[in-house]
Amino acid sequence: MHAAVKILIGFVLIAVGLGLFIDEISPIVGLGVNWLTNFVIVLTGVIPPFLILLGLFIVWLEIDEIKAERELREEEEKLKKTKKKKKK
């Protein structure tokens, strides 16, 4: 599919989504669905699991970095020991 067609589809989807939110505030079509209220409910339900996953990701990254620093330090110490042995 051509990039321009994808951009056009994206703009149509944005317009439809905004139109559904606006329809709740000022009913034009009157679908009877509270889109904005439902969105806020879903958003408030998604925030705690998102924060938990973000926290787990940060902890995992930091633990991995600590392990990498420890391995680097051990390799540097081994390199220093081998250099000392070569000098003798």
Q: Splitting the chain (88 residues) into consecutive groups of 10 residues, what average pLDDT does each group show? A: 90 89 72 81 93 96 95 92 76
Identify the pLDDT of residue 88.
62
Quote the tokens at residue 70: 């420890």
SS (H, E, C) the chain: CCHHHHHHHHHHHHHHHHHHHHHHHCCCCCCCCCHHHHHHHHHHHHHHHHHHHHHHHHHHHHHHHHHHHHHHHHHHHHHHHHHHHHHC
Identify the pLDDT of residue 29.
66
Identify the pLDDT of residue 85.
75
Identify the pLDDT of residue 34.
81
> Structural domain boundaries of the chain?
1-33, 36-88
Identify the pLDDT of residue 30.
64
Is 69 in contact with 61 (CB distance < 8 Å)? no
